Chains A and B, each alone.
Chain A
């Protein structure tokens, strides 16, 4: 049983100089056999294991991670959480996640620092205005909070934005989702890891999957750097490396893995208390609790697993940021990094069974997976436990690329991919 984190445990541990805190999760060696193995110890994978234990009473589960938990895209994203998607299927999926976010710190007894500071999306031309108004209506029909703001209202909500009509991409309006916001990405991985560990899940780090063993049309186990693990259910949540794992099982996925970059500035006093995204110029910015501006850039157009991106992508983003926020012109950037995002042709994720029995994929989240972490874990756990998708992820199956029933969120998702 885990000790509960509270003000009292904080005071109690202060007396022993915080040296006697219980371990948040164990560091076990893999057992010979599990009821299910999750490949990938990011937020989505750990959440899947947690909900398998919590909601589906599967206790003999392992999460295998080739590096350390939360060290991939979970630790590399810009932590934006929102659910203002155009299509019904996406709205259902992402708002399911947002509803879990709203109670997640309490549920996990772990402060994920979820902050509903609002996300504002800007319109820079007439077509943007029409698209954003349409999306606002679509959101409200789906029960998702959304308001359309004119230029003055944008300026009032975020006073540092340059709303002058003579800039290259003038601000003609925007949408605001007030329930949206940010969370602390590492805490999400750690909170789910601690929760999963309490359910009896083995979290095995530094354990890379080398092969998937099949017996005809079903899964028998996985080969790892720590030996063979027998299991009939494998849930792959490997983000940018999903195609690599799929190839081990002889599958091809409709994915391309591309670099996506982000950067942070030196820390400054509070200057922007919301998240502002711009689709047309592809720049988004928020401020972390440490005071750094967190800036997200776009993807490169070539396949790469190098976790590095091109310099001109960062330059283009900063050009746009400076035009929209001239106040940032003398700030210095502190760090820049890249992650590898797996992008589907329709820019929507895959949460699906495959043609191989017992092999499930949760991938294709592209540039926006962090926001879906709790919902993705919950629905993927449901899919693995029941061997059937939940109604909220039924549309996100692999078969849609054959039937043509795509969930095309390329332009509709409020930000370009």
Chain B
């Protein structure tokens, strides 16, 4: 279990949060023109990184806002949290 620093509410127990998977997957701008391969890439394929990964989290039992997190998946250490819409930090 770990403590998560919600960018809106501050430090809260992980139990209040819901993980939302990989961050910065952009929805295709022209969905009708996508090939099956491109759809599969968007819908299903994931980086699933062992190491530092960008993800989305939701403060489900709190402010209910979505935000981004940079976390090391090999030891669950949280590096950084930042709000939706903000640019991901470069490493």
Q: Do A and B bind each other?
A: yes
Residues of chain A whose beta carbon lies under 8 Å from any beta carbon of chain B:
241, 243-244, 247, 252-257, 300-306, 308, 310-312, 342, 345, 401-404
Tell me the bound Cα distance from A257 to B71 in angstroms.
14
Whether the pair B46, A255 counts as a contact (CB closer than 8 A) is yes
A401 adjacent to B76 (CB under 8 Å): no
What are the residues of chain B within 8 A of A302 when measuring CB–CB?
A: 19, 55, 71
Near A by CB (< 8 A), chain B positions 43-73 give 43-50, 53, 55, 71, 73
Residues in A with CB closer than 8 Å to B19 are 300-303
User: Residue on A with the closest CB to B41?
Assistant: A252
B1 touches A403 (CB 8 A): no
- Pairs A-B, 10 closest by C-beta atoms: A302-B19, A243-B48, A254-B44, A252-B45, A402-B40, A301-B19, A401-B44, A305-B50, A401-B40, A402-B36
Is the beta-carbon distance between B48 and A257 smaller than 8 angstroms?
Answer: yes
Beta-carbon contact of B45 and A312 below 8 Å: no
CB pair A303–B15 under 8 Å, yes or no, is no
1/0 per residue B74-85: CB within 8 Å of A? 111000000000
Minimum CB distance partner of A303 in chain B: B73
Contact B45 A241 (CB under 8 A): no
Question: Are the CB atoms of A306 and B36 closer together than 8 Å?
Answer: no
By a CB distance below 8 angstroms, the chain B residues around A402 are 36-37, 39-40
Interface 1/0 per residue, B1-43 and A, CB below 8 Å? 1000000000000110011011000000000000011011101
Tell me the bound Cα distance from A306 to B77 in angstroms.
10
Whether A256 and B21, one on each chain, are in contact in the complex, defined by CB atoms closer than 8 angstroms, is yes
B74 touches A306 (CB 8 A): yes
Nearest CB in chain A to that of B19: its residue: A302
Cβ–Cβ < 8 Å partners of A305 in chain B? 50, 73-74
Which B residues fall within an 8 A CB radius of A? 1, 14-15, 18-19, 21-22, 36-37, 39-41, 43-50, 53, 55, 71, 73-76
By a CB distance below 8 angstroms, the chain A residues around B14 are 310
Q: From B36, B41, B46, B76, give the contact of A256 (CB < 8 A).
A: B46
Q: Would you give 9 A-B contacts (Cβ < 8 Å), ordered by A?
A: A244-B50, A257-B48, A301-B19, A302-B55, A305-B74, A306-B74, A306-B76, A401-B45, A402-B36
CA distance A308 to B76 in the complex (A): 9
Q: In angstroms, how far is the closest chain A Cβ from the Cβ of B84?
A: 18
Q: How far is the CB of A301 from chain B (nearest CB, A)?
A: 4
B73 touches A306 (CB 8 A): yes
Q: How many whole Å from B58's CB to the nearest CB in chain A?
A: 10
B residues in contact with A311, CB < 8 Å? 1
Partner of B1, one of A255, A303, A310: A310
Task: State the Cβ distance, A55 to closest chain B Cβ, in Å.
Answer: 32
Minimal beta-carbon separation of A412 from chain B (angstroms): 19
Chain B residue with the shortest CB-CB distance to A399:
B40
Cα distance A26–B75 when bound, in Å?
34
In the complex the two chains form, what is the Cα distance from A403 to B14 in whole Å? 37
Across the interface, which residues of A come within 8 angstroms of B76, CB to CB?
304, 306, 308
Within the complex, the shortest CB–CB distance from A169 to chain B, in Å, comes to 21
Q: Contact at A254–B1, with CB atoms within 8 Å?
A: no
